[in-house]
Amino acid sequence: MQTIGCEYGRRMTVVEDDLSLVFSALADPTRRAILERLARGDATVNQLAEPFAMTQQAVSKHLKVLERARLISRTRTGQSRPCVLEPVRLDAAVGWIEGHRRIWADRHDRLDAHLAALRAARDEGEGTAR
């Protein structure tokens, strides 16, 4: 566990929560490409390794990260264990991003309104000074 400084002088504890695992997994372009491939349908490790210039072992390491974040799961079909996309896990990340997008959009709108009021006051002051 790590403690970091936060806005307004408060302290915040950083823990490895589900959201952190999802963002960490999404941070790698290979893992994002794997998720894009799985969005088209289930695939085995061999099928997922084909488009990449990496070993099956390297792809398996990426899959373990995606499994740990619960963005994918593996089912057993006879001898095969295809990987399956779990898109519901992205909902938390989308919700977090959307919540922060709304906060910043609101702050931007308030700043625009404040600047417009300042311009209007300045223009009004210049009009009466003539």
Q: What is the pLDDT of residues 51-98, one digit of tens each?
A: 988 899 999 999 999 999 999 999 888 888 899 999 998 888 898 899
Check residue 2 and give its pLDDT: 54
**Residue that wins the pLDDT comparison between 9 and 55:** 55
Check residue 10 and give its pLDDT: 54
Residue with tokens 């300045």: 122
What sign does the dihedral 51-54-56-59 (CA atoms) show?
A: negative
Across the chain, mean pLDDT equals: 86
Instruction: Give the model confidence (pLDDT) of 73-85 as tens digits.
Output: 998 888 888 999 9
Mean pLDDT of 98-111: 89
Distances (CA, A) of 126 to 85, 98, 117, 121: 62, 42, 14, 9
For the chain, the domains span 18-129
Which CATH number describes the domain made up of 18-129? 1.10.10.10
pTM of the prediction? Answer: 0.69
Residue 1 has pLDDT above 80, yes or no: no
